[in-house]
Amino acid sequence: MSPNPRRSLAVVPLLLLVFACSRGPAPTPTPTLTPSDQVKIAVRSYLAAIYAGEAEKAWDMHTRETNQGESFDQFAEAVDVAASVGDQIEIVQIDEPEINGEEARCTVVQRLGPRISVYTFTLRYEDGEWRIHNPAQFNP
């Protein structure tokens, strides 16, 4: 008994339908983040790493120049101190960053109990992402 060519052709659309349905829904495209959003996310991620005691993660968010001449051990000690109160710190506000080419400044307002602190972070765009830029100042 030879196969019926019409019957074989009828199976092809059915197989295509099954294959198409098995792939699941098409992914929803995510909007592209603006440079301003990227800076804010970098600052928030950096602070989250600091307050969680993740010194290596925070260290990796620095520019290369920031880490040159710095001691990771001293940085890790400072992170440990910050992490000891990190769960008590509230990030009240992250201002709109000022971006000038590959450098940005972003001010953060934080609260620890009744104390309000304001910090300005400098960031540089390096290796395809915004990184904290705070190099040591060398005095001759």
SS3 64: helix
Report, as an integer, the average pLDDT of 23-45. Answer: 78
The pTM is what? Answer: 0.74
For residue 25, what pLDDT is reported? 52
In terms of pLDDT, which residue wins out, 48 or 27? 48
Higher pLDDT, residue 86 or 28:
86
- Domain extents in the chain: 32-132
pLDDT over 60 (residue 21): no
pLDDT digits (tens, 9 = 90+) for 93-126: 999 999 999 999 999 999 999 999 999 999 999 9
Average pLDDT over residues 43-55: 96
Q: How many Cα atoms are found within 13 Å in the side-chain-facing hemisphere of 69?
A: 8
State residue 99's pLDDT score. 97
Tell me the mean pLDDT in the region 22-40: 72
What's the CATH number of domain 32-132, 3.30.420.40, 3.30.300.30, 3.10.450.100, 3.90.226.10?
3.10.450.100
Averaged pLDDT, 28-35: 74
What integer best gives the mean pLDDT of the chain? 83
80-84: Cβ within 8 A, 24+ apart: 80/53, 80/55, 82/50, 82/51, 82/53, 83/50, 83/51, 83/52, 83/53
What does the pLDDT look like over 67-95, one tens digit per residue?
997 899 999 999 999 999 999 999 999 99
